[in-house]
Structure 1
Amino acid sequence: MGNGKIEIKRIENPTNRQVTYSKRRNGLFKKAQELTVLCDAKISLLIFSSKGKCNEYISPNTTTKKIYDQYQNTLGIDLWNTHYESMQEQWRKLKEINDKLRRETGQRKGGDLMSYLSFDELRRLEQNMAASLTTIRDRKYHVIKTQTETCKKKVRNLEERYGDLLLKYEAKCEDTWFGLTADHGDYNSAVGFANEACNLYAPRLQAAGHPDLHHGGAF
């Protein structure tokens, strides 16, 4: 039984496609090498994968540039000049775009308004600047709002920290007062101290209520 014909179309399975690419590429390189040895031919073979990776085969004692120059001489064309002219055209277009942007930037700053712009161009410039001013103002208000919210959040955090510290301080003061009785167990001493303080101030209060006591009045 002979091998069936393979339909030439893109292989959808990525693994099979990569395997086929590697095999066919190596086969082309082998044929190019055989052609170089058998026929003394100069070959430059470039293969680019679907991912942009370059694979190259060059005959010994030569370079791709030499073969490229020989190709131009044989056909009587100059591909380098064509490429140079294409680059020059691209550079000219980019220079025009750059000059236009520089001119518009100067006009937005108030320069080059008398000799370049017509009435319609001035009106369009005014509209563009008004739109830009609106965008700038919106951005400014957004920054102010963000900074204000950040400051409010910091103030709330400080207030919460202050409240926590105040509670801790009050709790510590209460622990210190109750420590006279709880830690040392000297409850009677504390009560006696309080009674003595009351007895100390009682005569003074009584004397303040009876002026005759200050003059040695008779009982």
Structure 2
Amino acid sequence: MIVTSVGRILTMVRGKVQMRRIENTASRQVTFSKRRSGLLKKAYELSVLCDAEVGVIIFSQKGRLYQFSSSSEIQNTIDRYHRSSNDADTYKANMEQYILHLKQETTDMERKIELLEVSLRKLSGQCLGSCSTDEIQMIGDQLDLSLRSIRARKAQLFNDKIQQLQEKERSLKEENAKLLAKCYANPWQSTAYPRVAAIDSQSSRSEDVETGLSIGLPESLTRHHPAQV
């Protein structure tokens, strides 16, 4: 209990270590040794626990080298770092080039859209005050060509529609002829075609009706005026 209390008191008194250069040479050397060992130990634990490739290089104040590598040689880790760094630089350069290309394409597209809008306004009869005679003539030729194309397309659509209607008319006539042929071939079995049967029966009855028409004067007049007959 006494030892624990003393440790807590010392921790509270010492407080947080300030991150600055240790002026005392002996203290600096002791701190370097302790923290170097801890750093290399943490690097080893990271490589084992996480299956990561870790490389640590430390140079002391006097130029002494301390290193740790999870691979067979630390040079392999250094080469891999250079390759990754070069790939990152190449990717960054390619992306910058691609962005510049997109910006240039955007500028060109905006210019083309602006020219098309000006041309469209001129074709609709607007903004003609600044046009020369040659430009006016060219706009007129373009309009004539467009009008001929529109009329040709219109005529083609009308012809196609007429052909469709004619084909439909021929189909209806053929169907009507087939129905009439069936009706006349079976005059007593026309229940499926009541309208045609009714027309046929009406025509037959009209042929059987005897008319009372005769040529000459009525009989009453011949009795009263026999000499004129």
Give me the TM-score of the superposition, normalised by structure 1: 0.46
TM-score scaled by length of structure 2: 0.44
The structure with more radius of gyration = 2
